[in-house]
Structure 1
Amino acid sequence: MKAFTLVLTSLAIAVAGMAHGAEIDLNHIQRLGPVNQKSAAPLSKSAHADALRANFVAKLTQPDTTQPVLVFNQPLTWQSAVEKAEGEGWLAYQLPLSTQRFTQGTLKIKGLENPQVYLNGQLVKSADEVPLELANGDYQLIVLADGQQAEVPFSLDWQGNSDVDVLSFVKQDTHRVSAQQLFDAKTISSMQLSPNGKYLLQSTVEYSPSEGDKAISVTELRDVASNQVLYRWQDSLPQSSAFSTDSKQLAYVVGQQIVLLNIADLSLKVAADKVENVSGLHWYGDTLLFSWQKTFKADEKATSKRYQALEDRWSYWRNNSQIYQLDLASGAMRQLTESKQSSDLLDSDIRLGKLLLTRAVVDYAEPAHSLSQLVELDLATLSETLIGEYRTFGGALYGENGMFILAGPTFMDGLGKQDPALEVNDYDGQLYWRETKNQQVTALSKEFDPAITSMTAVAGRDLILSVIEGDFAPLYFFDKSQNKFSKIDTGVEMVDSFGIATDQALPTIVYAGTSATVPQQAYVMNIKSNRKLMLFDSKVTSYATTRLGQMEDFDFTNKQGQLIDGRVYLPVDYDATKKYPALVYYYGGTSPVGRNFSGRWPFNLWAAQGYVVYVLQPSGATGYGQAFSGRHVNAWGKHSADDIIEGTQAFLQAYTAVDPKKVGNMGASYGGFMTMYLATQTDIFAASMSHAGISNLSSYWGHGWWGYGYSGVASRGSFPWNNRELYVDQSPLYNADKITTPLLLIHGDADTNVPVGESHYMYTALKLLNKDVELVEFAGQDHQISARNIRFDWWDTTMAWFDLQLKGEPEWWNTLYPDTKK
């Protein structure tokens, strides 16, 4: 048992349990108080003691400890803990902790009355002995107490559970990024700009440990020029918000009401009441268009359900939404559409007196086994004109004397294909133009490699496009008169959300985004001048004292001569003379792994925990051109696996600090499939993790809610009865006997996209084959694990597995899953 004793009345302390017998620099240990009892009674005397402490500790954990803390007019400063504590009253101690691995033990406290132990601002326990379990990282320990015990010297004693449970107490000006930071930090979730560019509707989300999984969501109406808040919502957030075309009013849904906010005087008016399930507000002159859903109510007494279509597995499919119009002057409403299929509003043109609608029709005749109708509605007569029925339709907007259409390359018999003989991926979004006069459709983006994901019309004739360009997500301006695409210099690598002043020919835009190692920033920008003004900087608000490792681009050329894009995240304080374990991450499906700062896959956190992280974009991803993305179709791992294996080998040759025997790999969904498939193809990896992966292509195709539709693109024209080679030979399940790599399977037991059985099939096979396999299910979780506390459990499970397998550190895994036999 390793132990150390810290006695704060001595100038030098010998500490057992510290690596190499290092001593603590007492100048890094600080004390606040005692606080004069006349100024503040002992915290524990209050009926709301826990809340008082929590609020105070939140202030104490602020990074700047040089400024005095004013407690009821008594100025207090942090002092070196070696100085004698004068007076009586409650006090606080602050101590930096740092670990290089999962560490557990007990902190023992002597000499304080009613001590409370907080770790990174969160209460661990109120006791003289406090157990601690610390993941690899940096921490701030604070001990609050009602006072000092008479004649009992204050001391802290740490007893680790074993020789490896060692803490370091060297204070640093910065700290490694934590899981809590990445999840809890305030971020902008949406931005909406008024047509004239003067007003911004902005929504933010952040989390607090005291609120658990409940998000702290706020929406604000701001003046763009001053960035000042004009109006604020928190308890009842506005939904389906829409600025009027003259930018004088904001319409939104709250509860069962449609409300109008007059921006000039901030007065509110209820435009419609008792309108449940209303969404999609859209201004049309002085009226509002909206979608009104009629929810299907099943017979509660029924014990069976007759499926009407493949889509009937979707819980919402029998709901029906139609378009309505609200006259704001009179309050009168009328129904504009009536159909067995839901009608979705795409756009309106008040000059033409028409609306663009789309409807999804059940039709499995051809891949991708869905059919979209594009319909134009004449508001004067309520007559409809069917413009067309399309298999790869993504949206449409009115332009000047025509309309823009988003669709896949095979739209209208391959109109968007660069080469008629080319195999293409219909998730590779393309832009088209339909002329009003002759109804001729032309392809606009054949030579534009980025995949277009959304479009917004500006000044009625041009577009702002959101695209996927390699592993970047930028914005482009499309000039229709010149048929020219121009990248907007946003200064961020991944645009998360944006708003556009649609009245301006060269519009003002607002946007929020991140880069691989830069947290979220938000700007307002004039496209014409390219001038930017920062509106929000998460680095300042949430990461001011955070130390990140470096990120380096790392590309290689595969055997086919194709450049494969990638990047490498290095551990904090990386030393090329040392040896590190590594993690390889990929998706392998239709999309590249973007350069987001945070998200479900926290590359910066993995690097902070001592791993070199290699992220690559194997063949088949969109954003690299039609030929590259087309390699995804009818492949299911054939090309992607080769790229991942080649890339890992090239990575190991370039980064000699990585131990080639300690490399792990992981992926989710299609990436989870890739992980299982790779385990049947190579032993280059020492450990693998598959989250919500597909093990049996046939079962996913038939049972996943969207399996048949996705396979209509990814396996175009191939079915279990006509392409056994694809559905059997490419399924990891049918090759399970080839697997030798230890494999962790993680799955939500409520996953409807990739049903949990996909992991069970592989778990059963590997257990019967006596292979090294673990299965961890997360109760009630769907395809993505989003809830805060469960997200942390998921991240911990993943990293504990790799610590076990790649670092030879079983303690974290065995603590999480103590019944595991190793």
Structure 2
Amino acid sequence: MSKKSSFRIATSLLVLILFQLSLFAAENNTTVVITNWLTLGPVKTPLPVFHEKKNFAGKKFEIKNLLEFDHFDLSKLSPGQDKEVASFGQQKLRWAAQADSALKIASLNRKTPQKAYAAAYLTAARWMEIKLTIENPHLQIVYFDGKKIGKKESANSEKKKSAATKATIKVEPGTHLLLIKTLFDPKCEAPWQITAKASLPESIPSGDLRWSSDGTHFMNVKNLLDEPEISSLSISPDGKFVALTVRKSQPPSDKYENWLEIRRYSDGALQRSFRGMARISQFKWAPLKNRYSYLTSDAKGVTLWISDLQTGEKISLLKNIRDFKSYRWAPDGTFLIYSATEKYPAPKTKLKKLEGMPDRFPGWRNRDFLYRVNFPDGTKMRLTSGLESTNLNDISPDGGKILFTISRTDFSERPYEKSTLYSLDLKTLAIDSIWTKKWQGSVRWSPDGTKLLITGGPSMFGKIGVNLPQGVIPNDYDTQAYIYDLQTKKVDPITLHFPPTINRPFWSPADGKIYFTATDRSYVSLFLYDVKKRTFQKIDTKSEVIGAITFAEKKPLAVFNGCLANVPWKTYRINLKSGKTELFYDAAAEDFANVQFGKVERWTFKNKFGDDIEGRVYYPPDFNADKKYPCIVYYYGGTSPVTRDFGGRYPKNLYAAHGY
């Protein structure tokens, strides 16, 4: 043999040895065995009658088919020690903890198939890929975060070694649920026990993966996106009932389920649910006792229904209205004002003459007009037409007039639009122009019909709403409130010396006071304005941010959604006379029951101009002052602050849950 050949053989042997060593090193993983379990059951799960007969496909109903059948919705399982789960009939099952590397399940007998569930929580401190191995001589299906990752459809034979269920999973930081549905096969003599382990690369410390029977966890994306939320609220005029719209995502799709519920104000008890029915929209309480209205739509158009809460009777007041937009009840319940869109037909040629700069926008030529429909006879009258859209502002307390606005483009000055407010007499159709202004917001009548409550920018009525040094330009997105006297034409800028920005006003017919939700730095709070005393008072709502809010017309009662920076949204009821606030409904209580949040601290500083800059710090739930953490700094330089609302577009709690 030549030296050259010897060198080649030696080199080949060296490469082979190195290759084998590298393979050995790659398989040198760390193993973490599950020793903390939660178990549910077992319960008897007999085969159905006639299981021995073949179906049209020539197959019998076998024990593996029994394994696949779900006796309840697994997606609703949230294992926790001593938590009860409804089983078949009146039987209640309870999750029990067991600490052992081999989970032993005591069968009820050895004659009947039985089903049980085993669960464990995996907490990962980092992104990782793990290999799961679950051994069980009996049948099983294995789920990880609700997704089926493997199954074993037959029990071990006497001679055959247990066939393990194996899966490779990419795990993100956070807490995850491993759920095993297992079925006892009476023909299998092996003990009913489960062993499970996770293998991870040696480069990842074993302490970065932990198994537990405790489902407490930090906030995750599912908590942010998939939990139910209350998207709208409406309290009845007498304050006895509350209608709320529940919105819930339907993962893994990007679709949502929306449904309406009517609950009793006094205790939140459910009175009626519209879940699973045709989708309804624009629910409104009628001024008439126990009646409400809503819309349904199909290919023919929109139908407006009036229904009685007590009797269930309903009638269709409007049918098949094309391009229906919105509606409002008259205070006495004898008619409604609604708007519908007239769509401008598309040109027959590709050449289009622009009627102005906004004509570049799709749908700009469409116009909204107002109509009246009487209740209960359904007779209708068209109220407006012309070149420009007419938008309803309010109906007078006596039902004799309406307020509506026409907005026109004006590129000569900001905000490049002016609004003209009109009053229309519903008997004579006589029209009166009240003003043409910039920066107009909402306009509502006072309870006695002699004044108007307006929101708008500081510049809406000239300098009367501006409280700034000479030469300083006001922020016209800092919404103010005004009272306008219809007889004297005088404007009272009631929030001139009130720093918060007005969001939603309500002039209560029940007590004559005005209630505002207003943005105060990073808080959104509820305030009371006493018209006679000309004083503001902040109302304690147990919330840092108020979202949707609804007021009763005839009682000093309200219902609202509120949250803290580190407490999810909940629905509260408040007695405006006593100031007492109570929890009304917590739609996501079960979903957030095991979520642990970190503390949030207010943090402000003075900039070089001497201004106080409002801020806050979100800490990880397991914050340790002796450690260093990466920090995300979020600042916003817009015209309105980023409030302390929970979740939202920039989910600070989620960032903190990941160790920032």
TM-score per shorter chain, which class? 0.7 to 0.9
Q: Partners in 2 of 1:385 and 1:568 — Cα distance?
A: 53
- Quickly say closer, same or farther: Cα 1:609–1:366, change in 2 above 3 A: same
* Aligned residue identity for 2:417: S
Q: How far 1:223 sits from its partner (Å)?
A: 2.4
Structure-1 separation of matches of 2:84 and 2:656: 33
1:199 to 232, 236, 241: 241
Identity value in percent: 24
Deviation at 1:207, TM superposition (A): 2.4
Matches within 5 A, 1:466-505: 466-504=517-555
Task: Report the CA distance shift for 1:117/1:84 in structure 2 as closer, same or farther (over 3 A).
Answer: closer
**Higher strand proportion (structure 1 or 2):** 2
Distance 1:331 1:512 in 2: 35
2:496 — aligned with what? 446
Instruction: With a CA cutoff of 8 Å and minimum separation of 6, indicate the structure with the bigger relative contact order.
Output: 2
CA distance in 2: counterparts of 1:437 and 1:68, whole angstroms: 66
Query: CA, structure 1 residues 289+67, in 2 after alignment: closer, same or farther (shift >3 Å)?
Result: closer
More helix by share: 1
Report the counterpart of residue 465 of structure 1 in structure 2.
Answer: 516
What are the equivalent positions in structure 2 for 1:143-158 lying under 5 Å apart? 143-147=180-184, 154-158=194-198
TM-score calculated relative to the size of structure 1: 0.67
* Aligned mates of 2:138, 2:305 — CA distance in 1: 55
Assess if the C-alpha contact under 8 Å between 2:423 and 2:433 holds in 1: yes
Do 1:453 and 1:467's aligned partners in 2 also have CA atoms closer than 8 Å? yes
Q: Flag the 1:307–1:141 CA change in 2: closer, same or farther, 3 A.
A: farther
1:437 is matched with which residue?
487
In 1, the alpha carbon distance for the partners of 2:94 and 2:214 equals 22
Match of 1:239 in 2: 281
Segment drifting more, 547-556 vs 199-208:
199-208
How far off is 1:117 after superposition?
A: 2.7
Q: Hey, what's the Cα distance between the residues in 2 that align with 1:295 and 1:517?
A: 46
CA distance in 2, matches of 1:4, 1:227: 59
Counterpart CA distance in 2 for 1:543 and 1:4 is: 40
Instruction: Tell me, in whole angstroms, the C-alpha distance in 1 between the residues paired with 2:377 and 2:93.
Output: 62
What is the CA–CA distance in structure 1 between the aligned matches of 2:606 and 2:184, rounded to whole Å?
66
Q: Find 1:576's aligned residue among 625, 635, 642.
A: 625
Opposite residue 479 of structure 1, the aligned amino acid is D
Contact 2:292 2:308 in 1 (8 A): yes
SS in 2 for 1:197: coil
Distance in 1, Cα, partners of 2:434 & 2:578 = 39
Q: In the aligned structure 2, how far is the partner of 1:352 from the partner of 1:61?
A: 53
**2:304 aligned residue:** 258
> Any idea what SS the aligned residue of 2:292 has?
strand
Given candidates 174, 181, 186, the residue that maps to 1:137 is: 174
Matching residue's letter, 1:421 = G
| Aligned-partner residue type, residue 310 of structure 2 | A
SS at match of 1:604: helix
Matches of 1:313 and 1:114 in 2, distance apart?
A: 65
| Root mean square deviation, CA, Å | 3.0
1:523 aligned to 2:572?
yes
1:25/1:216 CA distance change after superposition, 3 Å: same
Task: Confirm or deny: 8 A CA contact 2:228 2:588 kept in the other structure.
Answer: no
Cross-structure match for 1:591: 640
Partner of 2:204: 164
* Cα pair distance change 1:494/1:50, threshold 3 Å: farther
Give the letter for the 1:533 counterpart.
E
Q: CA deviation at 1:338?
A: 1.3
User: What are the Cα deviations for residues 288-320 of structure 1, in whole angstroms up to 9, with x where unaligned?
Assistant: 111112233424x64455443333344342221
CA contact (8 A) 2:29 2:200 kept: no
Give the distance between the partners of 2:632 and 2:540, measured in 1 at CA.
Answer: 32
**2:254 maps to which residue?**
213
Cα pair 2:514 2:529 within 8 Å, conserved: yes
SS in 1 for 2:624: coil
* Residues 1:74 and 1:339: Cα distance change in structure 2 (over 3 Å): closer
CA distance in 1, matches of 2:68, 2:341: 46
Preserved CA contact (<8 Å) 2:439 2:456? yes
| Counterpart mapping for 1:2-81 below 5 A | 17=30, 26=35, 28-33=36-41, 35-38=43-46, 44-45=64-65, 52=70, 55-67=72-84, 70=87, 78=96, 80=98, 81=100
**Alignment-derived partner of residue 375 in structure 2:** 328
* Equivalent-residue separation in structure 2 for 1:451 and 1:245 (angstroms): 31
Q: Deviations over 1:444-467 (max 9, x none)?
A: 111110011222221185322121
Structure 1 position 422 matched with structure 2 position 472: yes
Query: Which of 539, 552, 555 is equivalent to 2:601?
Result: 552
SS of structure 1 residue aligned to 2:410: coil
Report the CA distance between 1:17 and its aligned residue: 2.3
Cα distance, 1:182 vs. partner?
Answer: 2.1
Deviations 1:64-107 (A, max 9, x none): 44547745659675452535334464443212201111122332
CA distance in structure 2 between the partners assigned to 1:468 and 1:403 by the alignment: 22
Where does residue 293 of structure 1 map in the other structure? Answer: 341
The number of residue pairs the alignment matches comes to 590
Q: Is the 8 A contact 1:519 1:538 kept in 2?
A: no
Alpha-carbon distance in 2 for matches of 1:2, 1:498: 64
**What is the alpha-carbon distance in structure 1 between the residues aligned to residue 640 and residue 494 of structure 2?**
22
Report the Cα offset of residue 577 of structure 1. Answer: 0.6
Specify whether residues 76 and 539 from structure 1 end up closer, same or farther in structure 2 by C-alpha distance, changes over 3 A only.
closer
How far the C-alpha of 1:108 sits from its partner, in A, is 2.9
Structure 2 match to 1:120: 145
Counterparts of 1:74 and 1:553 in 2: how far apart (Å)? 46
Change beyond 3 A, Cα 1:322–1:50: farther
CA contact (8 A) 1:377 1:385 kept: yes
Matches of 1:305 and 1:122 in 2, distance apart? 53
Contact 1:39/1:71 (8 A) holds in 2? no
Mapped to 1, the partners of 2:26 and 2:210 lie a distance apart of 11
Q: Conserved in 2, the CA contact under 8 Å of 1:42 and 1:146? A: no
> Cα 1:42–1:170, aligned 2, differ >3 Å: closer, same or farther?
farther
- Cα deviations by residue, 1:24-55 (Å, 9 ceiling, x for unpaired): 572x2234455544278978416xx76727x4
State how far apart, in whole Å, the 2-side matches of 1:608 and 1:324 are.
52
Deviation at 1:590, TM superposition (A): 1.6
Q: Which moved more, 1:142-151 or 1:546-555?
A: 142-151
Farther-moved stretch of structure 1 (135-144 vs 309-318): 309-318
Contact 2:40 2:93 in 1 (8 A): no
Name the aligned partner's letter for residue 45 of structure 1. N
1:3–1:363 Cα change, 3 Å: farther
Q: Secondary structure at the match of 1:584?
A: coil
CA distance in 2, matches of 1:90, 1:484: 67
Q: Distance in 1 between the 2:202 and 2:294 partners?
A: 59
Instruction: Compute the displacement of 1:3 (Å).
Output: 11
Among candidates 250, 259, 268, match of residue 227 of structure 1 = 268
Query: What SS does the corresponding residue of 2:168 show, helix, strand or coil?
Result: strand
Aligned residues of 2:103 and 2:194 also touching (Cα < 8 A): no
1:272 aligns with one of 315, 318, 332: 318
8 Å Cα contact 1:2-1:161 kept in structure 2? no
Structure 2 counterparts to residues 732-743 of structure 1, below 5 A = none
CA gap 1:449/1:75 in 2 versus in 1, 3 angstroms: closer
Q: Which one-letter code corresponds to 2:374 in the other structure? A: D
Aligned partner letter, 1:167: L
Q: Is 2:590 aligned against 1:537?
A: no
CA contact (8 A) 1:281 1:289 kept: yes
Contact kept? 1:2, 1:159, Cα under 8 Å: no
Determine the C-alpha separation between the residues in 2 that align with 1:60 and 1:3: 40
Over residues 405-446 of structure 1, what are the superposed CA-to-partner deviations in whole Å (9 max), with x where a residue is unaligned? 111111122321103432211100011121111212231111
Amino acid at match of 1:295: K
2:80 aligns to what SS in structure 1? Answer: coil
CA contact (8 A) 1:293 1:321 kept: yes
| Equivalent of residue 85 in structure 1, options 105, 111, 129 | 105
